Structure 1
Amino acid sequence: MPDGVLLVDKPAGVTSHDVVAKIRRGLPKGTKVGHAGTLDPFATGLLLILVGRATRVQRFLMGLPKRYETVARLGYTSTTGDPEGEIEPGDMPGEFELPTGIITQRPPAYSAIKIGGKRAYALARAGETVEIPERQVFLARFDCEWREEDRAAFVIECSSGTYVRSLIMELRDAYCVELRRTRIGDFEVADASEERMLSLDEALHFLPLVQLEGGDAEKASHGVAVPGSAHGTVRLHDEAGLIALAEPRDGDLLKPVVGFRA
């Protein structure tokens, strides 16, 4: 069974699940396939498709920062914050005040967040009132690239969990007409190819590497903590390659939390 990560440039009009299903059909039966961060159907851009044992590291890839390019329509509102909602005329925004740093944001009602076990967008479409708790996110960059009549383009670099639709809706009044994810961590949409699968090591290159030998390597392959110190998650290696991902524990130990030898 193959293991690794595919960089896919998702087209508009399909869901992230559709992309996963397409990739799965081209792989041996029984291969696990997932993704690391949903894109809305109208959005395009970089989607990380996880194949085989790469599905075990989803949370580490989902936590990477993102870069988006978006075009907003000004002077109108959308119930969903995108072209798929109910569009109403509103007020034309004045000079933009674009925040950076840590901000508090409320995700849109039409989002994939689960509330009481159900997706928020399903509740909203059923006419139910959806109250999603606010969250803190980090904006490293929020720049207006151009503004012409009722359109404006923005570049946003942000932490995982940031909703670009909400950022644009908060400009009063505006909504996204185009949204493209161009980067996830160090992965660029320009490098997307369904023909080349990144190895687990390549996909996890942003995690520090700890080399093990002999008995320690054997212990780690069975999930047993080994001597070592770190400030976060690391890759454990031996001469044969990747053994596991490990996290620091008291007593200068590294405890495997995701194994790749079983």
Structure 2
Amino acid sequence: MNKIIKKEDSRVDGFLLVNKARGLTSMDVVRKVKRLTGMERRVGHGGTLDPLAEGVLPICFGQATRLMDLLINEPKEYQMDVLLGESTDTYDAEGAIIDQQDPSAVSRKQIEEELQKFQGLFWQEPPMHSALKQGGKRLYELARQGLEVEREPRQVRIYEIKMLDLKMPIVTIAAVCGRGMYMRSLANDLGTALKCGGHTSSLIRRRIGPFQLENTINLEEFAIAVSEGRWRELIRPPDSLLLNLRSATLSVTAEREIRNGQSVPLANHGSKAGHLEKHRLYSIDGRFIGIGRLDRSRNQWDPHKILMLKSPSPHAPDMGLEA
């Protein structure tokens, strides 16, 4: 029998780290989590994964949905297998093969040299089979109609890239990249650079921001946790995304003022903070208030992103886990 969730106990704020399985869309995972938990409102995902891809997919609950814009801007770490010698119309294994070449003459040195050319900032053309809009329609909708339209290249960044393994015709790559990077496009571009073609045959997201693959749970395990009534224990607090920021504690008066959209005077804990530096802000009883930004010219905290949370955070100053 399904447990009836009392209204006063139904609020959940935080992140569930799901290990998305291959074949599911990101929205498939959100819908499954909603059905299992009975949570219908304020549930979303933080960073789309293609159906082919596996790995870290943060599911945001409640007040954590207000941090989704920060989450999707976090660096992402991928492990990708590229099958050399075959180009597809989707740039991955789900598409139709449009060209085949012999990759046997490609050397390890050539691959390593070409990979390094992608490190840093560069312009990337997004694939036709993507959710980007053009003329009010998703590109994949146009592609399904057999249409090919010109796509404006976007500037993307790869922080680190290296070859992990080579077992011809498959090369395994690790990359840490910024927002907007299409790993499928990288596979296609690498194949083009090597003059043999290539597409993504496997893709795993190992990390997004501070959230690691090792700390995820698959949907089958999550379903068991729901049936045993312990799924809330798996939810990470909203401020777990922000542990790279320093923290500060506000007085009762300062908390009230900043929640009302007012700036509050800088206390001793911000004396070493730089101009416009962001901090995690906490109440004196350890609740995460949100993100404050320091205006050094006025020696005041300005509200940047304020949340409404009822429970103390384990990451609050002097309450256990401190950044």
C-alpha distance in structure 1 between counterparts of 2:289 and 2:148, whole Å: 47
Once superposed, which parts of structure 1, at least 4 consecutive aligned residues long, lie more than 6 Å away? none
Instruction: Kindly provide the amino acid, as one letter, of the partner of residue 181 in structure 2.
Output: T
Instruction: Kindly provide the amino acid, as one letter, of the partner of residue 205 in structure 1.
Output: L
Name the structure 2 match of 1:227.
Answer: 265
Matched position secondary structure for 1:201? helix
In structure 2, stretches of 5+ residues that fail to align are: 1-10, 223-230, 267-273, 310-323
1:204 aligns with 2:252: no
User: 1:78-135: CA deviations, max 9, x gaps?
Assistant: 1111111111333345322112122221121111122233222112222233333222
Change (3 A) 1:30 1:20: closer
More divergent stretch after superposition (141-150 vs 39-48): 141-150
Name the structure 2 match of 1:140.
Answer: 159
Instruction: Kindly provide the amino acid, as one letter, of the partner of residue 13 in structure 1.
Output: G
More divergent stretch after superposition (4-13 vs 196-205): 196-205
Q: TM-score, normalised by structure 2?
A: 0.75
Q: TM-score, normalised by structure 1?
A: 0.92
Name the structure 1 match of 2:306.
Answer: 259
C-alpha distance in structure 2 between counterparts of 1:132 and 1:140, whole Å: 24
Matched position secondary structure for 2:70? helix
1:113 to 109, 128, 132: 132
Q: For the aligned residues, what is the CA RMSD?
A: 2.0
User: 1:145-194: CA deviations, max 9, x gaps?
Assistant: 22222211111111122111111101220000100000112211111034
Identity score, percent: 34
C-alpha distance in structure 2 between counterparts of 1:230 and 1:18, whole Å: 42
Matched position secondary structure for 1:198? coil
Name the structure 1 match of 2:317.
Answer: none
C-alpha distance in structure 2 between counterparts of 1:133 and 1:253, whole Å: 42
1:182 aligns with 2:228: no
> Which one has the largest radius of gyration?
2
C-alpha distance in structure 2 between counterparts of 1:112 and 1:252, whole Å: 44
Instruction: Kindly provide the amino acid, as one letter, of the partner of residue 162 in structure 1.
Output: M
C-alpha distance in structure 1 between counterparts of 2:288 and 2:162, whole Å: 40
How many positions carry a matched residue from both structures? 262
2:49 to 36, 39, 50: 39
Point out the structure with the larger strand share: 1
User: 1:40-65: CA deviations, max 9, x gaps?
Assistant: 00110000110111111101111110
1:245 aligns with 2:286: no
Matched position secondary structure for 2:64? helix
Does the Cα contact within 8 Å between 2:17 and 2:216 map onto a contact in 1?
Answer: yes
C-alpha distance in structure 2 between counterparts of 1:202 and 1:149, whole Å: 41
Q: CA deviation at 1:137?
A: 1.8
Instruction: Kindly provide the amino acid, as one letter, of the partner of residue 303 in structure 2.
Output: P
Q: CA deviation at 1:232?
A: 4.0
Does the Cα contact within 8 Å between 1:221 and 1:244 map onto a contact in 2?
Answer: no
Does the Cα contact within 8 Å between 1:2 and 1:31 map onto a contact in 2?
Answer: no
Change (3 A) 1:28 1:252: farther
Instruction: Kindly provide the amino acid, as one letter, of the partner of residue 180 in structure 1.
Output: I
1:18 aligns with 2:28: yes
Name the structure 2 match of 1:122.
Answer: 141
User: 1:204-239: CA deviations, max 9, x gaps?
Assistant: 223332221132111112222223465344322111
Change (3 A) 1:225 1:28: farther
